[in-house]
Amino acid sequence: MMKLQQTSDGYQEQLQRWVGALTTGDLREMYDALSEGEAGDVRRFLDNGVGERRKLLRQELAFVALAFDDFEDLVSDYVRSMPQTAYDPARSDREQFLCWLRQTRLLTAMQGDFVAYQEAEYAVAALARTRRPQHLTFQRMATRARQRTARLDTDSALLIHLNPIRMWTRLALPGRDLGEVLFFAAGDRVASVGLDSPAPEIAHLLATRPRTLEECTSRLRPVSREEIAVACRDLADKGLVAFA
């Protein structure tokens, strides 16, 4: 439909302008370049593409939208100001939107929590993709955690493994004050939990390497062995630790 400049440098520059124009909905760069076809055809293509981008952002960020009265306007502002980049599995359009939102808007405490929550979920999902072998290994161990829980008090060689697909963030969960919340992969979904002592201390200790119950007890004094065992069983039920 469009004549391209013949030099490689000119072609690349022109292509970049056209891509930017198409993704932001601005046809001024396009009209002079049209040599064949109808501008109306391009307009319909553009409207469909931009409309689909808005639709996907609204669907994928429905949770974040709950914290904003003007979310539709924010999506429109973002689409106009930020051209859509080529597919990047490490940084999706929805993640770029959240980054743009932090950079361009003064968020309330609640809005910041909703954004941080969504960002943490995306970060854990990305970690599960990049560390898939570790993720699958732990999930296999987790399916046998209940069978091995009974051995926790009697098997001195039993190692407690922390879920490798995890990240900490600070936000306020319902009924809790602002504090550390742990996001982690639970099967094929992302879960989150606010932990009470001694669970956070156990998680931070196991982050260095798997340990036995006796090792945890010696490192976390004055917390008792019984308290640590109870906390480990609870963490196993949540999908945060497994035994092997």
52: left (phi over 0), alpha (psi -120 to 50) or beta: alpha
The Cα 131–Cα 123 span in angstroms is: 12
Instruction: Enumerate the domain spans of the chain.
Output: 8-106, 132-243
Cis peptide bond prior to 210, omega within 30° of 0: no
Please tell me the pTM assigned to this model.
0.74
What is the per-residue pLDDT for 68? Answer: 95
As to burial, measured by CB atoms within 10 angstroms (0-12 exposed, 13-18 middle, 19+ buried), residue 3 is exposed
Q: Which 3 state secondary structure label does DSSP give 140?
A: helix
Locate 103 and state its tokens.
Answer: 């950079």
The Cα 90–Cα 95 span in angstroms is: 9
Please list the pLDDT of the chain residue by residue as tens digits (244 residues).
Answer: 333 344 445 555 665 666 666 666 565 655 555 554 445 444 444 444 567 888 999 999 999 999 999 999 999 999 988 877 655 656 789 999 999 999 999 999 899 999 999 999 999 999 999 999 999 999 999 988 777 887 888 899 999 999 999 999 988 766 667 788 999 999 889 999 989 999 999 999 999 999 999 999 999 999 999 999 999 999 999 999 999 8
How many other C-beta atoms lie within 10 A of the C-beta of residue 241?
25
Q: What are phi and psi of 145, to 5 degrees?
A: -60, -40
What is the per-residue pLDDT for 148? Answer: 82
Q: Residues 6 or more apart from 225 whose CB is under 8 A from it?
A: 213, 214, 217
Looking at residue 235, what DSSP letter applies? H
What is the per-residue pLDDT for 26? Answer: 62
